[in-house]
């Protein structure tokens, strides 16, 4: 199947600054693009392309004095299998001393994932009796899915996993942060993922399309996709970036005063 992906983002600026964006499809999916992406910066500004320490494609835009707005937009087509997220009930949990060393950073606390908090004893009290491996991660997803109420109007960029746990409300990033943190508390490497996830194979939702957040855990020698917000295998995920949490993978980061003037995301199946 083909999926149309894209975005149209406009930022109002008050002075010379720089901005970073992570908006390009992750290198793992780049080969599935019908044609290479060509992100557009309007007005044309000097842009530095680079790859961060997590392997994500990033860009820095240099904004000189006198530029009061910057528009970022792109549209592309990507091939997808049309299959739902793979499920592997037999994926086992590695003892920490046998984990690949590159997974160890995803056991530690990070900006939005407070492993060294009240969530640590809660995780063991709540999930310590569950079977190791896939079943334990699924138990975490079931809990988070029921514990947090999705409310687009209650999005808050500063809410951490502990905040989501206490407030019991949030958006997809809050579901992901809490699930990631609980998995790390249980010695399961977990990383945050941001990308496209359209209403493909499910009823459309009654609010604007946005980028989505989910998470991956390391079980049975590889990384697996989980989604505590939807809590069912979905069709058409397109990864943009992975990191320890949302602080590592900002869609945009402006180093100065700014306002968001436009934010539109497209991710639709191409039919016919």
Per-residue confidence (pLDDT) for residue 213, from 0 to 100: 98
Full residue range of the structural domain in which residue 224 is found: 96-234
Do residues 261 and 230 share a domain?
A: no
Structural domain includes residue 242: no
Do residues 127 and 62 share a domain?
A: no
Dihedral Cα 63, 64, 66, 71, nearest 10 deg:
-20
Which whole number is the average pLDDT over 13-21? 95
The structure tokens listed for 215 are: 């998470």
41-83 per-position pLDDT tens digit: 999 999 999 999 999 999 999 999 999 999 999 999 999 999 9
185-223 per-position pLDDT tens digit: 999 999 999 999 999 999 888 888 899 999 999 999 999
Which whole number is the average pLDDT over 102-125? 97
pLDDT exceeds cutoff 90 at 84: yes
142-184 per-position pLDDT tens digit: 999 999 999 988 888 899 999 999 999 999 999 999 999 999 9
Domain containing residue 187: CATH number: 3.10.620.30
Per-residue confidence (pLDDT) for residue 152, from 0 to 100: 86
Do residues 14 and 132 share a domain?
A: no
Per-residue confidence (pLDDT) for residue 218, from 0 to 100: 98
Phi, psi for 246 (deg, rounded to 5): -65, -25
Full-model pTM: 0.96
Do residues 9 and 103 share a domain?
A: no
3-class DSSP assignment, residue 270:
strand
Which whole number is the average pLDDT over 233-255? 97
Structural domain includes residue 245: no
Per-residue confidence (pLDDT) for residue 204, from 0 to 100: 85
Structural domain includes residue 214: yes
Tokens 């502990």 belong to 162
pLDDT exceeds cutoff 90 at 32: yes
pLDDT exceeds cutoff 80 at 272: no
Q: Which residue in 10, 223, 36 sits closest to 137, CA to CA?
A: 223
Structural domain includes residue 184: yes
Number of domains making up the chain: 2
3-class DSSP assignment, residue 153:
helix
Do residues 121 and 192 share a domain?
A: yes
127-142 per-position pLDDT tens digit: 999 999 999 999 999 9
Residue 4 and residue 267 in contact, taking contact as beta carbons nearer than 8 Å: yes
Per-residue confidence (pLDDT) for residue 139, from 0 to 100: 98
DSSP type of residue 220: T
Do residues 147 and 17 share a domain?
A: no
Structural domain includes residue 90: no
Which whole number is the average pLDDT over 217-233? 97
Residue 214 and residue 176 in contact, taking contact as beta carbons nearer than 8 Å: yes
Per-residue confidence (pLDDT) for residue 241, from 0 to 100: 98
Which whole number is the average pLDDT over 219-241? 97
Residue 195 and residue 210 in contact, taking contact as beta carbons nearer than 8 Å: no
What is the separation, in whole angstroms, between the first and last Cα of the chain? 10
Do residues 107 and 171 share a domain?
A: yes
Do residues 107 and 215 share a domain?
A: yes
Phi, psi for 267 (deg, rounded to 5): -155, 95
Q: Would you say the C-alpha torsion 138, 96, 225, 263 has a positive or negative sign?
A: positive
Domain containing residue 25: CATH number: 2.60.40.2250
Q: From the centroid of its chain, how far is CA 74?
A: 19
CA–CA gap between residue 156 and residue 240 (Å, rounded): 21
């Amino acid at each position: 199947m083909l999926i149309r992906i894209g975005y149209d983002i406009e930022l109002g600026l008050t002075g010379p600054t720089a901005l970073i964006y992570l908006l390009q499809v992750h290198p793992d999916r780049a080969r599935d693009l019908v044609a290479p992406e060509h992100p557009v910066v309007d007005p044309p500004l000097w842009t530095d392309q680079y790859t961060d320490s997590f392997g994500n494609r990033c860009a820095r835009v240099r904004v000189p004095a006198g530029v009061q707005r910057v528009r970022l937009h792109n549209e592309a087509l990507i091939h997808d299998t049309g299959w739902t997220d793979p499920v592997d009930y037999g994926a086992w949990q590695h003892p920490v001393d046998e984990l690949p060393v590159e997974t160890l950073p995803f056991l530690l606390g990070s900006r939005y994932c407070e492993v060294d908090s009240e969530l640590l004893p809660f995780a063991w009290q709540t999930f310590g009796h569950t079977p190791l491996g896939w079943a334990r991660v699924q138990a975490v997803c079931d809990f988070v899915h029921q514990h947090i109420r999705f409310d687009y109007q209650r999005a808050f960029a500063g809410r951490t996993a502990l905040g989501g746990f206490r407030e019991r409300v949030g958006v997809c990033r809050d579901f992901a942060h809490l699930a990631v943190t609980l998995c790390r508390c249980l010695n399961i490497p977990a990383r945050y993922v941001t990308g496209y996830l359209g209403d493909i194979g499910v009823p459309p939702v009654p609010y604007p399309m946005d980028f989505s957040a989910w998470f991956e855990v390391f079980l049975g020698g590889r990384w697996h996709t989980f989604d505590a917000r939807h809590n069912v295998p979905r069709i058409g995920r397109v990864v943009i970036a992975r990191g320890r949490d949302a602080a590592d993978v900002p869609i945009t980061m402006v180093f100065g005063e700014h306002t968001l003037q436009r934010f539109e995301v497209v991710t639709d199946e191409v039919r016919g």
